[in-house]
Amino acid sequence: NETEAEALAGVAVRDLESARGAARKLTEAGLRRVIVTLGANGALCGDVHHPAFAMQAVDTTGAGDAFIGSFACFLAEGVPEAEAIQRANLYAGLSTLGVGTQKSFVTREILESRWGGTPA
């Protein structure tokens, strides 16, 4: 997330461009892949921004965990990286519609019923 990217890169992360700068610095330090989650602004993978899906968030607790867990699952299933990030964005967004963490994580069926490819 922005806070962790800022701490690791030693660069203030305040917007998309500064997140790109932090990701670039971490890549230059030897990391092969840097993904910075940006909450309602989606996620950044390297230099590529993946917008979030619009949600009326109730509780954002656990959204980052929902993102990274679902992202890893999608990659393990063979989903291409860019699509896996977008699907993880959707899963994380849907997790903010309920209160709490694990109990707000939606089922695969709900996720698939909402999947349309890219944010509107």
Annotated catalytic sites, by residue? Answer: 65
Task: Compute the C-alpha angle 35/36/42, nearest 5°.
Answer: 105
Instruction: Give one word for 20, left, alpha or beta, with left for phi > 0 and alpha for psi -120 to 50.
Output: alpha
Quick one: angle between helices 2-9 and 16-28, nearest 10? 50
Contact 53, 92 (CB under 8 A): no
37-50: b (≥16 Cβ within 10 Å) or e:
bbbebbbbbeeeeb
